[in-house]
Structure 1
Amino acid sequence: MSDLLKVDQLSAGYGEAVVLNNVSFALGEGQTLALLGRNGTGKTTLINTLAGATRQHGGTITLGGAALHKLASYQRAAAGIGWVPQERNIFKSLTVHENLTAVARPGKWTPERVYEMFPRLAERKTNLGTQLSGGEQQMLAVGRALVVNPKLLLLDEPLEGLAPIIVAELLKAIARITREEGLSAIIVEQHPQAILAISDRAIVLDHGTVVHSDTAAALRTAPELLDRLLGVAR
């Protein structure tokens, strides 16, 4: 399996503040990576850096062999990055359908396929973003990232603050996108067991550095190690 994403000795942060220090990892074509760590360890900064929303101080990022770190954020979207930030960043003054068509690029992921995956959005396609629930906004944010037809999907805490029934729907959709459709993804999530179950690999960050890297299955079946890495008291 060839590597889709390669991150080598990456250092980045905000302004002069360095949050990530010499982070290195690779992700293969069609693989899903669970990005874990306690709050404040650099997970969101890493996602934002891949998307081009931080200041990079050193290192390289390549996507499909192309130098991603040299591109602006809008160029990274064109190069194959689909980004779902914590803030969702949907266009709240536009309808659901306008949100999807405004950013769509040619490819297999169309607004119609998004509606098939998220029937709630199909029922609300003429509703404005402000008229959606938090769960529906998250579904729309994922749909917007998909219609860009990315090579790599970045999901930053997609289940945060959602009702259990919506969490189940989103997990099912993410599993389909990655496992059945074969789209590579990096997922940040505070519920590690849920994400490890649908991931191939996992890395754990602490103080902006990678402190553990393994298969998702190995980490999922070692709860005491997982708890220790995430600072969870049994």
Structure 2
Amino acid sequence: MGKLLDVENLDAGYGEAVVLRDVSLSIEAGETLALLGRNGTGKTTLINTLVGVTRQHKGSITLSGTLLNKLSPHERAAGGIGWVPQERNIFKSLTVHENLTAVARPGNWNPERIYEMFPRLAERKTNMGSQLSGGEQQMLAVGRALVLNPSLLLLDEPTEGLAPIIVEELLRGVRHITRNEGLSAIIVEQHPHLILPISDRAVVLDRGAVVHNSTAQELRGQPEILDRLLGVAR
């Protein structure tokens, strides 16, 4: 399939503060990467660096053969990066449908396909963003990233703070996006047992550095590593 994303020897952070040190990883087209680590280990900083909202001190980021280092967040989005941040950042003063149509680009994903995947949003398409529950806002944030028709989807803690039934519904959608549709994704998650079953590869960060890089299946079969690096043996 070929390499989609290639990160090499990356140092990045905020201002003069360096959070990520010598990070290297790659994703093949169609792969899903679980990005794991305890709180404060640099996971969100890595996502933010891929999006282009941190300061990159060293290294390179290449997407589909294009060097992203000097591109703005807007240019990176146009080049194929879809981002669902922790804050969701939906337009709360617009309706669900307006949120999806305001940013849509031509491609396989359109509002109707989002409604098929998340029926809750179809039922609430005329509701304002501010009228949605946290889980519905997260589904809308995922949908809004998809209608950009990206080649790489970045999900930062998508299940955080959601009720179990909503988590199940959201992960079913993510599984469809990655497994059935073949969209490449990087998913940041605190709970590896939720994400590893639907991922191809797994990277664990600690203190801003990669301390484990393997297939997701290999990591699932090594509870001692899960316990040592993440404090969970599930």
TM-score (norm 2): 0.98
Unaligned runs of 5+ in 2: none
What is residue 75 of structure 2 aligned with on the other side? 75
What is residue 205 of structure 1 aligned with on the other side? 205
CA contact under 8 A between 2:226 and 2:233: conserved in structure 1?
no
What is residue 123 of structure 1 aligned with on the other side? 123
Shift of 1:232: 4.3
Q: Which amino acid aligns with 2:59?
A: G
- Equivalences, count: 234
What is residue 223 of structure 2 aligned with on the other side? 223
What is residue 86 of structure 2 aligned with on the other side? 86
| Secondary structure of 1:6 counterpart | strand
Alignment of 1:7-156 (within 5 A): 7-156=7-156
Shift of 1:91: 0.4
Q: Which amino acid aligns with 1:23?
A: V
Residues 48-102 of structure 1, C-alpha deviations (whole Å, 9 max, x = no match): 1001111111110000000112210011000000000000000001100010001
Q: Which amino acid aligns with 1:212?
A: H
Identity %: 76
| Secondary structure of 2:198 counterpart | coil
Unaligned runs of 5+ in 1: none
Q: Which amino acid aligns with 2:11?
A: S
Residues 90-115 of structure 1, C-alpha deviations (whole Å, 9 max, x = no match): 00011000100011000000000000
Which portions of structure 1, spanning 4 or more consecutive aligned residues, are displaced by more than 6 angstroms? none
The 1:165/1:70 distance shift into structure 2, 3 A limit, reads: same
| Secondary structure of 1:99 counterpart | helix
| Secondary structure of 2:53 counterpart | coil
The 1:77/1:92 distance shift into structure 2, 3 A limit, reads: same
Supply the RMSD in Å over aligned alpha carbons: 1.1
C-alpha separation between the residues in 2 aligned to 1:175 and 1:232? 23
C-alpha separation between the residues in 1 aligned to 2:135 and 2:69? 32
C-alpha separation between the residues in 2 aligned to 1:224 and 1:196? 15
What is residue 169 of structure 2 aligned with on the other side? 169
What is residue 191 of structure 1 aligned with on the other side? 191
